[in-house]
Chains A and B, each alone.
Chain A
Amino acid sequence: MSVAVGRTSPRAQLGTQAPRIILGILGLVVVVWLAIKASQGGTTFIQVTLNGITTAALYFVVAAGFTLIFGLMRVVNMAHGSLYLFGGYVAYIAQTHWFGGGGSQFSLGGASTTSIAGFFVPLAFATLVIGLVGLGIQQLLLRWNQGQDLRQALITIAVSVIFADQMVAHYGGIVQSIQQPTSWPNSITIGALRYGFFRITVVLGSAIVIGVLLYLLFKHTRFGMTIRAGVDDRAMLSALGVNVQLVFAGAFFLGAMLAGFGGVLGGTMISVGPGLDTQFLLDALIVVIIGGMGSLVGAAIGALLLGLVQSYSAIYLHFGSLDLSNYGVMTSFILVIAVLAVRPLGLFGRAA
């Protein structure tokens, strides 16, 4: 940073500083506003914050796979949302067929029970299946278009459209949900605060574990080192005798697995249904654009920012009698614009 500043003229420095100052003021206003709201209703504020954090956890799981694939292979995998949703459906079908649980929304609290295995076996199965599906997409469709970013993006869009229609045709248009084990509590209570058990333990816990594991994988294994090297310079890595194709396949498999895993978590925490594929693809895109494409830390920070902004804007856009909560959806994009205005490559993005 100090080197960069040294190289820049004072005037240019002021030019780059202006958006930062504006953004800083904007951020400060938001923080003050939230502080006022927090002081007015502490429990509600904590709940809303937890909503944001748990949603962010789900975004992170999905976006981590997305950013991994992009960072290494420069493939904007537009079928990532489809893999997410398909993962949810695979787990749902596995749960209904093998364990008799699952069931539509119309069996909430119904007679059927779900064992611990009745949740985890479909979870593992779906994760693996989606990993293999992702691998298939990479090997059959993307491998022979390597280096042609736009063509690959278009191919994956085609895949996502085909997937979306096939899923509606086979699983119907009705929203379903995967059941958590019946023995788990619905919610946990800490003092005056009551919160959904699955959201705060399983979803948030998974995101943290996955984050730590991915970090260790990248920093302390040979595979991770190869991936990092590949992110920086693919040609050089290849020239050094590393089988780049194998690394690509591994990364795509891992990235798709994360999408599938996220789909099962999302299908249990919320639901599985048509349209969620594009919704989560859009969310994943926003997360990695904010965080910087290819950066794991960026995905975590981006997910947290997006989750919190969405959560707060759904509640706190009431100013006296003025209700702006309808415009809450715009805040995600304001966030993207604000970040890109200051850091065009995202918070942790680096030029290739």
Chain B
Amino acid sequence: MERLRRLPRGRLAVIPAVALCALWIAACGSSSSSTTKSAAASGTTTSSSGSKSAPANALKIGILSDCQGDFGAWYNSDIGGAQAYFIAHNGAKAKGPVPSDGITGGTIAGHPIDIVGYGCANDTAASALSEVRRLTEQDGAQVVIGPLSGDEGIAVANYSKTQPGKTFINGTSGAQDTTLKVRSPNFFRYNGDGAQWSAGVGDYAYKKLGWRNAVVVMDDYAFGWTSAAGFIADFCADGGTVTRVYPPLGTTDYSSYISQIPQKYDGLFSAVGGAGLLDFLKQYVQARGNFKKNTLAGNIFLGDPATIAAVHASDAGAVEGTSTNEDTTSPNASAYIAALKKAYPAKTNSLPAPGTLAGLASSVFTVNYYVAAWALDKALTAVHGDLSNGQAALHAALAKTALPDAPYGPVTLDENRQAIITNYIAQVSGTGVRTIYKVPGVTQTFGGTFSPTTPSPGRGQPVCQKRSLPWQGKEQAVSFH
């Protein structure tokens, strides 16, 4: 009797255990397979059409971005940015109104352009690695433009060391380690890292907004840490103190993290990006009410055209660190915007609001891919299309390539093949972004604050301490109005 009663009992206990095990398998299976599935579904694996008909001397280019995860919305901004350059300057033609439709024609220094595929990652290092492998090892890309996101950049830069005969030009990823620590000889970054994009904001907040203690909310991954590191280095250099909160990238329910924010603080610096920023601000306003004037600052995401329309209600007067100017009328920026308009004039649902590529011109996702394509064109032209000897001539040329006419300020590379940029401080409001200060010549090292031997930016790094920075108190007022 006892035995009989125990049998089903034992069996029942097994079911949840088996179910739990199976769940893990299912979860892993679905996440890895979904990447490839979606890439196929959204027509991103366009390796077939281009490469088959391409002539022998074609330059095979892979463009690596994110079509999933926190930054998936900017997939076509990235592709569009790079391809708009080829369309405007290399004679390529768009195959359709959506950038991921592809391009045809066009040559760089005598090499016909062949876009072998688009990488669809999801802001994780693993996804970027599998996508960059697909582009280089299966589709045969000789040059990769990308990736988009911080952890991905570190992974791809490390991967590039195993492919010394190929060239990797960063898309818009902004982790510090990518260039400062990895220092791969064939990985080039013509955009600032997250810290460079925050340069000057901490100093401005301390001196002009009167903040003394700040809350720094950062995505808990390489870019979030780097972005926050720039603010913390600046702000603490003047004598400010910080409280750090670090929700994981991809958090949707920020309520617990909002609870960690002290009730009293002078200002909040947001290094939360992508879709998470909107969730965070929405839930912050629900929990704490609207931000008071001059108490909110943030990184490039706060003023991205795709997010600006969405956040206006909560951040009137917010201050943003950025490497672009939405409000500039300079000839360089105008030429760039005209190129975007000509290449992709149509409004499309495949781009985030405002829905046109030109409307997203001041987004780092558009301009940095454009600049990457530009650098490739300039360097390959300088060596007359020489790809021999493991692209040695191209690598040497890229390392020396400067872009004095880049849309939002001159770009040169340092000895780690990392851009030295002009950074800007801007005010964000419902009507747009107003640039108020500029910080020229921002290097990745912050005047020696960061070096290959200093700890990588992280949850507790850099340490908050007084230091001296090259631009302290030397930000230059600018106005485009």
Q: Spell out A's residues near B (CB within 8 Å).
A: 43-44, 47-48, 51, 55, 74, 76, 78, 104-110, 149-150, 153-154, 157, 160-161, 164-165, 168-170, 172-175, 177, 186-187, 194-197, 199, 269-271, 273-276, 278, 281-282, 285, 288-289, 293, 311, 314-315, 344-345, 351-352
Nearest neighbor of A170 in chain B, beta-carbon distance: B41
Q: Tell me the smallest distance from the CB of B394 to a CB of chain A, in Å.
A: 33
State whether A48 and B30 are in contact (beta carbons under 8 Å apart), knowing that A105-B279, A110-B309 are contacts in the complex.
no
Stretch at the interface among B67-75, B94-102, B385-393, B450-458: B67-75
Q: Are B26 and A174 in contact (CB under 8 A)?
A: no
Interfacial chain A residues near B122, Cβ < 8 Å? 173
Choice from A109, A275, A344 contacting B313 with Cβ under 8 Å: A109
Q: Are B9 and A351 in contact (CB under 8 A)?
A: yes
Choice from A78, A105, A168 contacting B22 with Cβ under 8 Å: A78
Q: List 23 A-B contacts (CB under 8 A).
A: A44-B263, A74-B15, A78-B23, A107-B353, A109-B314, A150-B18, A153-B18, A157-B22, A157-B23, A157-B25, A161-B26, A161-B30, A165-B38, A169-B42, A172-B42, A186-B286, A187-B286, A269-B253, A270-B252, A278-B27, A281-B23, A285-B20, A352-B12
Q: Are A78 and B8 in contact (CB under 8 A)?
A: no
Interfacial chain A residues near B431, Cβ < 8 Å? none
Q: Are A110 and B30 in contact (CB under 8 A)?
A: no
B93 within 8 A of A: no
State whether A108 and B311 are in contact (beta carbons under 8 Å apart), knowing that A78-B19, A270-B253 are contacts in the complex.
yes
State whether A274 and B12 are in contact (beta carbons under 8 Å apart), knowing that A110-B309, A174-B275, A187-B287 are contacts in the complex.
no
Q: Are B8 and A271 in contact (CB under 8 A)?
A: no
Q: Tell me the smallest distance from the CB of B75 to a CB of chain A, in Å.
A: 9
Q: Are B287 and A195 in contact (CB under 8 A)?
A: yes
Q: Are A282 and B23 in contact (CB under 8 A)?
A: yes
Q: Are A194 and B287 in contact (CB under 8 A)?
A: yes
For the complex, what is the distance from the CA of A343 to the CA of B58, rounded to whole Å?
A: 68
Q: Are A164 and B30 in contact (CB under 8 A)?
A: yes
Interfacial chain A residues near B25, Cβ < 8 Å? 157
Q: Tell me the smallest distance from the CB of A342 to a CB of chain B, in Å.
A: 14
Q: Are A106 and B307 in contact (CB under 8 A)?
A: yes
Choice from A55, A104, A177 contacting B352 with Cβ under 8 Å: A104
B347 within 8 A of A: no
Q: Tell me the smallest distance from the CB of A320 to a CB of chain B, in Å.
A: 15
Interfacial chain B residues near A315, Cβ < 8 Å? 256, 259-260
Q: Are B287 and A78 in contact (CB under 8 A)?
A: no
For the complex, what is the distance from the CA of A275 to the CA of B28, rounded to whole Å?
A: 10
For the complex, what is the distance from the CA of A197 to the CA of B287, rounded to whole Å?
A: 10
Interfacial chain A residues near B13, Cβ < 8 Å? 344-345
Q: Are B255 and A51 in contact (CB under 8 A)?
A: yes
Q: Interface size on B (CB < 8 Å)?
A: 61
Interfacial chain A residues near B283, Cβ < 8 Å? 196
Interfacial chain A residues near B257, Cβ < 8 Å? 314
Q: Are B256 and A311 in contact (CB under 8 A)?
A: yes
Q: Tell me the smallest distance from the CB of B5 to a CB of chain A, in Å.
A: 7
Choice from A154, A194, A273 contacting B289 with Cβ under 8 Å: A194
Choice from B26, B38, B41, B42 contacting A78 with Cβ under 8 Å: B26
Q: Tell me the smallest distance from the CB of B349 to a CB of chain A, in Å.
A: 10
Q: Are B279 and A106 in contact (CB under 8 A)?
A: no
State whether A168 and B38 are in contact (beta carbons under 8 Å apart), knowing that A109-B312, A271-B252, A273-B252 are contacts in the complex.
yes
Choice from A48, A187, A345 contacting B12 with Cβ under 8 Å: A345
For the complex, what is the distance from the CA of A345 to the CA of B70, rounded to whole Å?
A: 39
B57 within 8 A of A: no
B34 within 8 A of A: yes
Choice from B19, B34, B282, B309 contacting A274 with Cβ under 8 Å: B34
Interfacial chain B residues near A78, Cβ < 8 Å? 19, 22-23, 26
Interfacial chain B residues near A161, Cβ < 8 Å? 26, 29-30, 33
Q: Are A164 and B34 in contact (CB under 8 A)?
A: yes
Q: Are B38 and A169 in contact (CB under 8 A)?
A: yes
Q: Could you list 11 further interchain pairs (A-B, Cβ under 8 angstroms) beyond the known A78-B19, A108-B282, A172-B68?
A: A43-B263, A105-B310, A177-B279, A187-B285, A187-B289, A195-B286, A196-B255, A282-B23, A285-B19, A289-B16, A315-B259
Q: Tell me the smallest distance from the CB of A302 to a CB of chain B, in Å.
A: 12
Interfacial chain A residues near B18, Cβ < 8 Å? 150, 153
State whether A47 and B287 are in contact (beta carbons under 8 Å apart), knowing that A175-B275, A285-B20 are contacts in the complex.
yes
Choice from B16, B42, B281, B306 contacting A293 with Cβ under 8 Å: B16
Q: Are A293 and B12 in contact (CB under 8 A)?
A: yes
Interfacial chain B residues near A177, Cβ < 8 Å? 279
B292 within 8 A of A: no
For the complex, what is the distance from the CA of A275 to the CA of B255, rounded to whole Å?
A: 19
B49 within 8 A of A: no
Q: Tell me the smallest distance from the CB of A177 to a CB of chain B, in Å.
A: 8
Q: Are B9 and A106 in contact (CB under 8 A)?
A: no
B449 within 8 A of A: no
Name, among B9, B41, B42, B278, the residue most crowded by chain A CB atoms within 10 Å (CB to CB): B278
Interfacial chain A residues near B252, Cβ < 8 Å? 175, 270-271, 273, 276
Interfacial chain A residues near B259, Cβ < 8 Å? 44, 47-48, 51, 315
Closest 8 interchain pairs by CB?
A: A173-B68, A314-B256, A169-B41, A164-B30, A196-B286, A278-B27, A187-B286, A51-B255
Q: Are B37 and A48 in contact (CB under 8 A)?
A: no
